[in-house]
Structure 1
Amino acid sequence: MRILYFDIDTLRADRLGCYGYLRATSPNIDRIAAEGVRLEHCLVSDAPCLPSRASMFTGRFGIHTGMIGHGGRCADPWPIGRQRAFNTMRERGGLVWQLRQAGLYPATVSPYAERHSAWWFCEGWREYHNSGKGGGESAEEIVPTALDWIRRNGKRDNWFLHINLWDPHTPYRAPEAFGNPFEDAPIEDWYTEDLRRAQWASFGPGTPQEPAGGYGAASRHPRQPSQIASMDDYRKWIDGYDCGVRYADDWFGRTLNTLADAGVLDDTVIVITGDHGENLGELGVIGDHSVADHVTSRVPMIVRWPGLPGGRVDAALHYQTDVGATLVELAGGEVPAWWDGRSFAPAFRNGRDEGRECVVISQGVWSCMRGVRWEDHLYLRVRHTGLKNLPERMLFNVRRDPHELNDLAESEPDLAARGQALLDAWLDEMLSGSDCGGDPMDIVMAEGGPYHTRDMLDAYCARLRATGRAQHAEFLEKHPTGLAT
C-alpha cells in the first residue's frame, strides 16, 4: 500500500472546482476528486494551523491535547505527568505512529514543526525533510524534495508520504512568472461595495482597513493589496488567493506525473486536504482564519482509494480527524480507543454516507469561540472577539447563506438554544472523559485572551483613533474582550 497525503495550508473547500467554484483553480485536484470520494462537509475540530494539525495527527481534539493556541500554555500538549512512559508513542501514538505500526514507512516534507515549535509533530516519521523557511516557502521550494523522494522510493511498497504546501496562505507569494490566470475571470458577486464600505467603517484585524498582513503598510507582495479601499482591491485580493491555490494545484499535478513515471499512480491512495479555510470577507475578516465559523473550519477532503467505490460525494458530517482514523483502519491498523477520531471505514468501503450528528469547532488563536455545525446550521458562541466587531452569539443557515451574511440568532431563538445545548452537552462529555483537568479555553482567557491579539489593544486603539474610528477605540477600551455583556 502507498499513501500520498497532500496537505495544502489555508485551502478553502469552496475555492476548488470540484466543490463548485466558478474559476479554474484546481484542474488536477478535480481530476482526482472525479476518481475518488469528495467529503462535502469535513471540518477541523480546532482552528487554525497548529491546533488543526495537532488534532489530525494526534487523533484527538484540542480540548484533550491542550493544543488550541499559537502561544502560551495552550500551544503545547498537556504534560502527561507521572504516567509518562519511557516511549510515549507506544501508549499515545498519533496518526503517523499508527500507520507505521500497520507496516507503512512514513516520510514528510514540511516546515510545520519548525514554524510552530511543534516538535511533538516529529514523532513517528522515519524521514523528516524540513524545507526550512517556516511556512514562507512556495511550492517550488518544497515539492522537488518530494519528487526526488518518489523517484527513489516510489516503487517500494508500504509508504506514507506527507507533502505540506503553503501557497494559499498570506502573504500571497506565487512567483511573478506564474502570471495571473484569472485576470479576465469573473469573481463571485456576494461581496458588494455596500458590504465593503460597512466593513471599512467597522473594526477588527482582517477588516478592509486592516486585512491580514499589516495595518495599511505598503505590501511587499504585489499580489496582496495593503488595504481593500475599493472593489478593484478586493478583486486583486481574490486573484492573489486563487493564484496561490492554482499554483499549488500545478505542483500537485507534477507530483501525479512523477507517480505515473514511477508506474505507481494507479495503485497509490491519494488524500488531498488542508488545515483550515480562509475568510474572504465573511464575518468582516479578509485573508485570515481567525474565527470558528464554517468558512474557516471547513476543509476539502478528497480520498481516492484504488479498489473502493469512487466518483461520488459523501454528504455526511465529518471531523477531519475521523478521516485519519479511517485511513488507519483501511491500512490494516487499529484505531486507538483514546482517539476522538472515529473511523467510518465500513461505510467508505461500501459507498455509504455515515457521519456525525454534529461537529464542534474551537478557535483559540485569534479569538476565543466555539461553533457547532448540525444539519444546515452553524451556531457560534464567542468568549473573546480578538478585537473584532462580533456579537456574543451568532446563528447561520450555511446552506442558504454560505457567506454568513444573515445572523439568525435573534429571529430564530429556538434554533440558537438548540445550538447552545449541543455545545453544552459536548463540553460536558469532553471534560468528563478528560485526563487534562479542564478546558484549555479557560487557560487562554486567563492568560489575557487569544495569543495573536492579547497584547494589541493599546496599539490597535491608537490606530482606530488615527483612522477616524475613535468610537470603536472607546468601545474596546471599555470592553477588552470585544463583548458588551
Structure 2
Amino acid sequence: MKVVFVSLDTLRADRLGCYGYTQATSPYLDQIASEGVLFAQAFAADIPTEVAHTGIFTGKVGLRTGVVSHGSPMSQLPKHVDWLPEILRKAGFVTGAVDNLYQLKEWFARGYRYYINSVGRERWIDGRTVNDLAIPWIRDHKDEDFFLFLHYWDCHTPYLPPKDYVPSFYDEHNNPYDPSNHSMERAYNHPAYPFFKYHHYRLLGDVTDASYLHALYDAEVRYLDDRLCELDACLREQGIYDDTLLILFGDHGESLTEHDIYWDHCGLYDTTVHVPMIMRWPGRIPPRRRVRGLVQQVDLMPTVLEAACLNAPPDLDGKSLWPAIEGRCEQTHSTIYLSECAWQASRGVRTSDYKFIQTIDSGPFVRPPCELYDLRLDPNETINVVDSLPEQALAMAQSLHDWITYTLDGREDPMIEVLRCHGLPFRRRIEQILGQVGLTWDDWLAHPSKERFDELYDMNRVLANES
C-alpha cells in the first residue's frame, strides 16, 4: 500500500470545477474527483498553515494540542503527542516528505525517514520544484509500502504564475496598470497594506485592476493542476496507480477581497475555512462518490490509519471518513468549531445552517464582537443577523463556550495566553515593517495610506542604499 498525502496550500474550494467553478482552473483535479470521493463540505477547524497542518497530522484540534497560533514563539507541540508519519513509520511504512514546514516548527519533520526540504532562496516555491524532488523519490520506493507527504504552495501569495497561464483568465487587451481603474484602492489603503506591499504587491508593480489579481490566482490554480497531472502520470508509469491511496486537501482557502480581506487567508468565513478534500483509491473507493455532510481536516489521520489497518489513538478529535466514503453516513460531525490567531483572534461555530463567529482581537480589521450568518439564505455570509436572531446567537455562543471549557479541561486557554504574552503574530510583523519607515502601529491605524507608506518606504530604501 502507498499513501500520497498532498497539501494544496491556500487552495480555495470554490475555485475548482468539481466544486462548481465555471473557469477552467482544474481539469485534472476534476478528473481525480470523478475517480474517487469528493467531500463537498470539508472544513479547516484551525487556520492558517501552521495550526492547520498540526491538526492534520495529530488528528486533534489546536485547543487540545495547544497549537492555536501561526507564527507565535510560544507554540510548542510536546513530543508525546501522536504524529501520523511517526505511527506509520513504526508500522513499517517508508515515510517521506517534500515540504518546508520545518522552517516554521521542528515538529513538522517528525516521523520521516526522508525529509526533503523544498525551501529555496526565495519564499515562493514552484510546484515544479516539488515534482522534481518527489518523482525520483517515488521511482526509488515504488516497490515498498510508503507514506509520502507533498506540500504545494503555488496558490499562496505572491501570485507569480508562468506568464503563459495568465491569458486564459485575463483578457490580454485589458491593462492591469490602467490609471483610470481604481478597484485596488481599498486594498492599497487597508491597514494591512505594509505587509502585502513587502510580500506581494511590490513583486507585481502598481496594479490598478483587482480582477488581474483574481486572474493570477486562477492561473496559479491551473498551473498547480498541471503539476498534479504530472505527479499522477508518475504513479501510472511506475505501475502503482491501483495500489495508491491519493489524498488531496487544502490547508485553508483564500479571501479574494471578501470581508475586507485582500488576497489572504484570515477570517473564519467559508472563503477561508471551506477547503477541498478529495480521495482516490481504485477498487477501494467508489468513483463519483460525493459526501455532502460536514467533515474536517482532523478526520484525515484516523482515515489513513484505518486504511492501513492500524488502530487510531483513542483521544482524537477526528473521526474516520470511511463510513461516509462507503455510504453508511453522510457526515462525521454535526458541528465544527473554528479558530484563528494570526492576523486576528477569533473562534466560531459552523453547522449546516448557521455560522457564528466571536472576535477576541480584530487586529487591523474592523469586526463586530459577534457575527451570525444564516447560511441557507446567505451562503456568502454578507448579512450579520446576530441582532435579529438573538436566541440562535445565544445558543451557538453557549455551544462554543461549553466546547472550549470541555476541551481545555482546566488548562489555560492558549489563545488568551498568546495574546497576553506576545499579541497577534501578524500585528508584530506589520509593526516591524512600520518601524523600518519610522511609523508606529497607532499612527498608521489612524491614517493608513498607500501613498504615505510608499513615500516613506522608497525614502528608506534610498537612504539604506546611500549608507
CA shift for structure 1 position 177 = 4.6
Where structure 2 has 5 or more consecutive residues not aligned to the other structure, the ranges are 173-181, 432-438, 451-467
Closer, same or farther: CA 98–226 of 1 in aligned 2, 3 Å:
farther
Mapped pair 1:219 → 2:201: yes
Deviations 1:75-106 (A, max 9, x none): 322xx5xxxxxxx4xx5321112223443221
Give the match for residue 378 of structure 1: 355
- One-letter amino acid matched to 1:370: R
- One-letter amino acid matched to 1:162: F
Deviations 1:374-425 (A, max 9, x none): 1221110000001201111111133443332211112221221122022012
Contact 1:68–1:74 under 8 Å retained in 2: no
CA shift for structure 1 position 197 = 9.0
Closer, same or farther: CA 448–152 of 1 in aligned 2, 3 Å:
closer
CA shift for structure 1 position 219 = 3.2
Distance 2:34 2:328 in 1: 14
SS in 2 for 1:366: coil
Give the match for residue 298 of structure 2: 321
Give the match for residue 97 of structure 1: 86
Deviations 1:220-248 (A, max 9, x none): 433xx656x5xxx2111101111111111
State how 1:27-66 maps to structure 2 within 5 Å: 27-66=27-66
Give the match for residue 364 of structure 1: 341
Distance 2:236 2:286 in 1: 21
- One-letter amino acid matched to 2:320: S
Closer, same or farther: CA 14–444 of 1 in aligned 2, 3 Å:
same
Mapped pair 1:459 → 2:440: yes
Closer, same or farther: CA 218–366 of 1 in aligned 2, 3 Å:
closer
After alignment, is 196-205 or 41-50 more displaced? 196-205
SS in 2 for 1:219: helix
Give the match for residue 443 of structure 1: 417
Closer, same or farther: CA 201–170 of 1 in aligned 2, 3 Å:
closer
Give the match for residue 429 of structure 1: 406
- Cα-Cα RMSD: 2.7
1:143 equivalent among 131, 139, 151: 131
CA shift for structure 1 position 292 = 2.2
Where structure 1 has 5 or more consecutive residues not aligned to the other structure, the ranges are 81-87, 186-194, 470-485
CA shift for structure 1 position 267 = 3.0
After alignment, is 347-356 or 27-36 more displaced? 347-356
Distance 2:155 2:211 in 1: 15
Give the match for residue 403 of structure 1: 380
Give the match for residue 393 of structure 2: 416
SS in 1 for 2:416: helix
Give the match for residue 483 of structure 1: none
Distance 2:96 2:275 in 1: 23
Contact 1:66–1:74 under 8 Å retained in 2: no
Count of aligned pairs between the two proteins: 434
Give the match for residue 111 of structure 2: 124
State how 1:159-198 maps to structure 2 within 5 Å: 159-184=146-171
Distance 2:441 2:422 in 1: 16
Contact 1:294–1:378 under 8 Å retained in 2: no
Distance 1:266 1:175 in 2: 32
Closer, same or farther: CA 73–467 of 1 in aligned 2, 3 Å:
closer
Deviations 1:36-95 (A, max 9, x none): 111111112210011110111122211122212233344322xx5xxxxxxx4xx53211
1:106 equivalent among 86, 95, 100: 95
Closer, same or farther: CA 151–254 of 1 in aligned 2, 3 Å:
same
Closer, same or farther: CA 140–456 of 1 in aligned 2, 3 Å:
closer
Give the match for residue 280 of structure 1: 256
Give the match for residue 24 of structure 2: 24
Distance 1:44 1:342 in 2: 14
SS in 2 for 1:221: helix
TM-score by length of 2: 0.86
Closer, same or farther: CA 399–24 of 1 in aligned 2, 3 Å:
farther
Distance 2:414 2:445 in 1: 31
SS in 1 for 2:268: coil
Closer, same or farther: CA 49–200 of 1 in aligned 2, 3 Å:
closer
Contact 2:191–2:445 under 8 Å retained in 1: no
Contact 1:17–1:27 under 8 Å retained in 2: yes
Closer, same or farther: CA 327–48 of 1 in aligned 2, 3 Å:
same
Distance 1:219 1:425 in 2: 42
- One-letter amino acid matched to 2:414: P
After alignment, is 245-254 or 167-176 more displaced? 167-176
CA shift for structure 1 position 342 = 1.8
Give the match for residue 332 of structure 2: 355
Aligned residues: percent identity?
31
SS in 1 for 2:394: helix
Contact 1:45–1:52 under 8 Å retained in 2: yes
SS in 1 for 2:427: coil
